[in-house]
Amino acid sequence: MTVRTRLRALFVISFAGALALLVSASPAHAQQAYPAKPIRLVIPFGAGGITDVAGRLIGQHLGEELKQSVIIDNKAGAGGAIAAQAVAQAAPDGYTLLLGTVGTQVVNKMLYNKLNYDPASFTPVSLVSNSPYVLAINGIDGVSDLKGLIGYAKAHPGKLNFGSAGNGSSPHLAIELFKLATRTDIVHVPFKSGAEAVNAAMGGQVQIVIDAIPVIQPQARTGRLKMLAIAANHRNAAVPDVPTSAEQGLPDFQIGSWNAIVAPAGTPQAQVDVLNQALARALKRPAVVARLAELGIEPMVTGVPAYLAHVKSETAKWSKVVQAAGTKLD
């Protein structure tokens, strides 16, 4: 073999080795690079509501942990179905996420005969937060707790009204859950938004309203609404003097505006792991903990197993309520 031939052989071997090394290193490099561009977080309701507030706060700090911008995209309508469908049809690359709710992930499939997305098809990332609901009243003399409200409702069947953000909304289903648990007859009056329902309660059009703490608390402070219970099994630091439903003998009357982050079906596990770890760190940040507590919002257990267990439990609960109420939206 000539010198030239030997050199050529050595070159070929060296080049092949370098190419193999480059190829083997590429997947790891790609994984480490995520996220390499801004992430879009789709929120299924308009700006200003409790879901939007929680989503923007968590999105900001999640972005800081990921060292990328998290862009908020509000897509309201159809109980969150419009936003959910948009994310379900997005590329499964980890750059489009949905801030899921009890509506998008659980209840919509019970309310709509034809739903343009499958809640179970999303790639779950993690639970994020929960804002427990507060039941409040106005204009019911002599009632100061749930026992008194139940007694009054049973003594006056069909005479009390409750307002909600519309048929199939979480506040609507919350009172349907209350009715089912207490065997009472209370009339539903739907409005276009939670704010309208609260205004109706203050104006005497309805006597009962239920919603997140930041929605109810300001009106209770002025004396225009009376908070009877937190629909939870533990008290909330934002309203520490308000007893829970569990304390008042209704342990199954629990509801809140909970959120989770999910991704399009087929999103790689590597991206899910990165998001999960960043979320866990973001939810432990002192600034996030303090702001959530101020709003009465509670961080939830992160990770895919906790999400799956929660959705299973919520599905069992709300299927009974929807069936008993007979609510359908199409």
pLDDT at 10 over 90: no
Burial 146-179 (b: 16+ CB within 10 A, else e): beebbebbeeeeeebbbbbbbebbbbbbbbbbbb
pLDDT at 323 over 70: yes
Average pLDDT of span 272-292: 96
How does pLDDT run across 100-144, given as a tens digit for each residue?
999 999 999 999 999 999 999 999 999 999 999 999 999 999 999
pLDDT of residue 271: 97
How many helices and strands in the chain, by DSSP H and E?
A: 12, 10
- Contact residues for 3 (Cβ-Cβ < 8 A; gap 6+): none
38-131+256-325 matches 132-230 in fold: yes
How does pLDDT run across 164-216, given as a tens digit for each residue?
999 999 999 999 999 999 999 999 999 988 889 999 999 999 999 999 999 99
Q: Are 248 and 145 in contact (CB under 8 A)?
A: yes
Model-wide pTM > 0.95: no
**CATH 2.60.40.1730 describes domain 132-230:** no
Burial 90-119 (b: 16+ CB within 10 A, else e): bebbbbbbbbbbbbbbbbbbbbbeebebeb
pLDDT at 4 over 60: no
How does pLDDT run across 42-82, given as a tens digit for each residue?
999 999 889 999 999 999 999 999 999 999 999 999 899 99
What is the secondary structure of 164-206 as a DSSP string? Answer: ESSTTSHHHHHHHHHHHHHT---EEEE-SSHHHHHHHHHHTS-
Mean pLDDT of the chain: 91
Residue 21: CB atoms within 10 Å: 10
- What residue spans define the domains of the chain? 38-131+256-325, 132-230
Average pLDDT of span 303-317: 96
CATH: 2.60.120.10, 3.40.50.720, 3.40.50.170, 3.40.190.150. Which one for 38-131+256-325?
A: 3.40.190.150
